[in-house]
Amino acid sequence: MKKLLLTALFLISLSTLAQTPCDYSINVTDSLGTYKRTKEYLMSEKNFAGTSSYIFCALSMTDGLPTLSVQLIQKSKGFMKANCFDKNSRLYLQLDNGKVITLFHIDNEFCGSMLRDEKGFDNRVIVGTFMFLKGTMEDIKSSKVSLMRIKYLTDTEDYIIKKNLVSEMDGKTYHPETYFIENLRCIEN
């Protein structure tokens, strides 16, 4: 019995140590403070009738303030409605444990940039930064995310968060439902 318990404890400690390494796009400490930012991670991908949309997220920590950067990329040859972020924009994360985490947009109004590529597609890129509320980090570190709702200036959209997402864009497999569980540790002190 003792050997079984020791073996179980050893395996649990190994799985804890076997976490994937943090992948940063920025990790700087200087006389002004510390800034950490994870690389962008694909959370949602929709491809339908010649229109594509992608949502990428990156976690940041600036002198103790945790934030989530959200980048929405839309691509189409047809009409694309403009979704804008403003001071009243919110990002809601529905967790598997039933709780809803609310993040507040911290930037001014931004409706994105429109670019036309060489194949005739219009590409709209919208970027927003959302702040975590005090006391919400523990819940999101321990529960998977099942739904992301973004409240834009004039619209609200829901995005189903998948367990596994094989991207049509780059062929890679992503695990969006556990993104926060696996990556919040990367921006903590």
Q: Which two tokens stand for residue 63?
A: 């002198």
pLDDT digits (tens, 9 = 90+) for 97-118: 999 999 999 978 889 888 988 9
Asked if residue 93 has pLDDT above 70, the reply is: yes
pLDDT digits (tens, 9 = 90+) for 27-69: 888 888 888 999 999 999 999 888 999 999 999 997 788 999 9
In degrees and rounded to multiples of 5, residue 96 shows phi and psi of -65, -25
- Indicate the average pLDDT of the chain: 87
- Domain coordinates of the chain in residue numbers? 22-186
Asked if residue 15 has pLDDT above 80, the reply is: no
Distance CA 163, CA 178 (A): 7
